[in-house]
Structure 1
Amino acid sequence: MKLIHKQRSTLLPKNPIRLLEEATEIWMQWRRQKLPLYLFLGISINLFIAPLVYAATDGGLSRPQSWALGLLGLGTIAISIYLFFVMFVPEKF
């Protein structure tokens, strides 16, 4: 019976120091770029909101319309929070 040798994954570097450097670089990129994180969180929250909107309308809206209403509601809440902070803490902006 032959043993099959699995090849090491080429996605991970063989040097642990290089792995640590790449992880640090990814962490620093994440800290600088907040928009992808915010978009991901908005879409994730909409996973819970859209079915609630769809159920509340008793089938009066289609699924894409309920997703759009959920995103519209999240956008409205986000803009109102932003404007609240701009009005009461203007020196940050």
Structure 2
Amino acid sequence: MLRRKLMRSLTQIRLMIARLNSRINALQEQVNDLQGTPSSSVMALLRGKLNTRITVETTAGSVFGTLIAIGEDYVQIAEPNGSIAIIPLRSFLSVA
């Protein structure tokens, strides 16, 4: 009888673990979706500023120059000294 109860408990624990794993996978997909793609409003803002001077605050500091290209997950800014900065969108804090 004790063995039967133990087996039932183990079966219930396995079922709970399977449900939790399924929920974890669903949450991980949501996190990946949020991290992987910049919002359409950010992309629209950047497209409106193409070939204009902008300042981007990033996790590594400020970058000032002319926005010359917008990639899927990065931008290119031509700085006044002639160098080209490639900035991943995930590093953006603000754009002015």
Q: Would you say same fold, with TM above 0.5?
A: no
For CA contacts below 8 A with separation 6 or more, give which structure has more relative contact order: 2
Q: Choose 1 or 2 for highest CA Rg.
A: 2
TM-score (norm 1): 0.29
TM-score (norm 2): 0.29
Greater strand percent: which structure?
2
